[in-house]
Amino acid sequence: KAGVTQTPRYLIKTRGQQVTLSCSPISGHRSVSWYQQTPGQGLQFLFEYFSETQRNKGNFPGRFSGRQFSNSRSEMNVSTLELGDSALYLCASSAYGQGAGELFFGEGSRLTVL
Amino acid sequence: AQSVAQPEDQVNVAEGNPLTVKCTYSVSGNPYLFWYVQYPNRGLQFLLKYITGDNLVKGSYGFEAEFNKSQTSFHLKKPSALVSDSALYFCAVRAARSGAGSYQLTFGKGTKLSVIP
């Protein structure tokens, strides 16, 4: 079974631009979550989707948004990029309703904002 | 609110020696507890979980973790460390009954494990 796939793996943007990151979950997983990882703040929860509905949202400004499609693939968008948005963005999928709902992570998208 | 504390930023251990990476948690109600490992420039890999039942949980790559409800701890252990175990380890928690069916995890800051040859 293929794992969680995130694209692109690396990207460089400049302040003020916007970026869209993509995530394809493990086949059959309908729950997708996004986390931001930085050296200073560690892993911070961004959002969680299930069946195209946002179930939960972390404490991030409105510049951060996401969505989930009918095939469970998810995208997140960051508009008006700031230097502090430089981070590793991790997507995770889960088989909702089964077991403890452990998350399975992708390799991440490393965003550098110049 | 739930939280996780990993009191050691770094743990050094000699190859072949037992290792312990510490984790304490705070959550309302019963916890679901997880350990993940992260290698450089990679995502997080699931190691093991505690849901209920036996306090000693066995996971991948020879790792195990001991759940202690009275001490609200979930320490990660391995009897004999390998150099290849060197990585960043994260403990995570969520309440067994999460609001709106959310699977959101709260992570600790991570502990860097270095296994010295």
The whole-number mean pLDDT for each consecutive block of 10 residues of chain B, a chain of 117 residues, reads: 94 98 94 94 92 91 96 97 97 78 87 97
Q: How confident is the model at residue A95 (pLDDT cuts 50, 70, 90)?
A: confident
Q: In sequence order, which residues have a C-beta less than 8 Å from that of residue B97 and are 6 or more positions away?
A: B29, B30
Partner-chain residue, chosen from A55, A58, A107, that has the shortest CB–CB distance to B43? A107
Q: Do B103 and A48 touch (CB under 8 A)?
A: yes
B103 touches chain A (CB under 8 A): yes
State the pLDDT at residue B100: 57
Nearest to A93 by CA among A42, A28, A46: A28
CA distance B59 to A39: 27
Measured in angstroms, the CA of B37 and the nearest CA of chain A are apart by 11
